[in-house]
Structure 1
Amino acid sequence: MFRATRQFFTSVALSLFALSVLAEGNSLLNVSYDVSRDFYKDYNPVFQRHWKTVSGGSIELKQSHAGSSKQVRAVADGLEADVVTMNQASDVDFLAEKGLVARDYARKFPNNASPYTSTMVFIVRKGNPKALKDWGDLVRPGVQIILPHPKNTGNGRYTYLAAWGYALNQPGGNERAAQDFVGRLLKNAPLFAAGGRDATTTFMQRKMGDVLVSFESEAELIAREFGKGEFEVVYPSVSILSEFPVAIVDKVVDRKGTRKLAQAYLDYLWSPPGQETAAQNYLRPRNPETLKKYATQFPAIRTFTVDEVFGGWAKAFPAHFKDGGSFDQIYQQK
Structure 2
Amino acid sequence: MKKFLAIAVAALALGGTPAFAQPTQILNVSYDISRELFEAINAAFIPAYKASTGVDLTVDQSHAGSSAQARAVLEGLQADVVTFNQVPDIQKLADGGFVAADWATQFPNNASPFYSFPAFLVRAGNPKGIKDWGDLAADGVQVIFPNPKTSGNGRYTYLAARAWADEEYAGDETKVEPFLTKLFANVPVFETGGRAATTAFTERQQGDVLVTFEAEVQGVRKQLGADKYDAVIPSVSLLSEFPVAIVDKVADARGSRDIAKAYLDFLFTPEGQEIAAANFHRVNNPEILAAHAADFPAIRLVTVEDAFGGWKKVSEEHFADGGLLDKVFVNQ
Q: Same fold by TM (over 0.5)?
A: yes
Partner in structure 1 of residue 4 of structure 2: none
Mapped partners of 1:92, 1:180: distance in 2: 32
Mapped partners of 1:13, 1:286: distance in 2: 28
Identity of aligned residues (%): 50
Partner in structure 2 of residue 159 of structure 1: 157
Partner in structure 1 of residue 61 of structure 2: 63
Q: What is the SS of the residue equivalent to 2:116?
A: strand
TM-score by length of 1: 0.93
Q: What is the SS of the residue equivalent to 2:240?
A: strand
Structure 1 residue 16: deviation in Å?
Answer: 5.1
Cα 1:105/1:14, change in 2 over 3 Å: closer
Structure 1 residue 172: deviation in Å?
Answer: 2.9
Structure 1 residue 19: deviation in Å?
Answer: 9.4
1:237 corresponds to 2:272: no
Mapped partners of 2:169, 2:69: distance in 1: 39
Mapped partners of 2:160, 2:117: distance in 1: 9
Q: What are structure 1's unaligned runs of at least 5 residues?
A: 1-9
Mapped partners of 1:75, 1:116: distance in 2: 23
**Residue identity matched to 1:174:** D
Structure 1 residue 176: deviation in Å?
Answer: 4.2
Mapped partners of 1:308, 1:93: distance in 2: 19
Mapped partners of 2:53, 2:210: distance in 1: 44
Judge conservation of contact 2:12–2:19 (CA < 8 Å) in 1: no
**Residue identity matched to 1:78:** G
Encode CA deviations 1:39-89: one digit per residue, 9 max, x unaligned.
001001211122123222221100000111111110000000000000000
Structure 1 residue 13: deviation in Å?
Answer: 5.4
Cα 1:131/1:232, change in 2 over 3 Å: same
Partner in structure 1 of residue 25 of structure 2: 27
Cα 1:276/1:122, change in 2 over 3 Å: same
1:121 corresponds to 2:119: yes
Mapped partners of 1:30, 1:127: distance in 2: 38
Cα 1:110/1:14, change in 2 over 3 Å: closer
1:105-184 equivalences under 5 Å are 105-184=103-182
Cα 1:19/1:69, change in 2 over 3 Å: closer
Mapped partners of 1:215, 1:204: distance in 2: 15
Runs of 4+ in 1 over 4 A off after TM superposition: 12-19
Encode CA deviations 1:129-158: one digit per residue, 9 max, x unaligned.
000000011111111000000111000000
Partner in structure 2 of residue 302 of structure 1: 300
Partner in structure 1 of residue 249 of structure 2: 251
TM-score by length of 2: 0.93
Give the structure with higher Rg (CA): 1
Mapped partners of 2:229, 2:20: distance in 1: 47
Mapped partners of 2:273, 2:236: distance in 1: 25
Mapped partners of 2:67, 2:12: distance in 1: 40
Mapped partners of 1:274, 1:328: distance in 2: 39
Cα 1:278/1:13, change in 2 over 3 Å: closer
Q: What is the SS of the residue equivalent to 2:117?
A: strand
Q: What is the SS of the residue equivalent to 2:227?
A: helix
1:30-41 equivalences under 5 Å are 30-41=28-39
Q: What is the SS of the residue equivalent to 1:299?
A: coil
Partner in structure 2 of residue 92 of structure 1: 90
Partner in structure 2 of residue 42 of structure 1: 40
Mapped partners of 1:94, 1:75: distance in 2: 10
Q: What are structure 2's unaligned runs of at least 5 residues?
A: 1-6
Judge conservation of contact 1:117–1:285 (CA < 8 Å) in 2: yes
Superposition RMSD on alpha carbons, in Å?
1.9
Judge conservation of contact 1:15–1:55 (CA < 8 Å) in 2: no
Partner in structure 1 of residue 218 of structure 2: 220
Judge conservation of contact 1:22–1:57 (CA < 8 Å) in 2: no
Structure 1 residue 120: deviation in Å?
Answer: 0.9
Structure 1 residue 170: deviation in Å?
Answer: 1.4
Q: What is the SS of the residue equivalent to 2:125?
A: coil
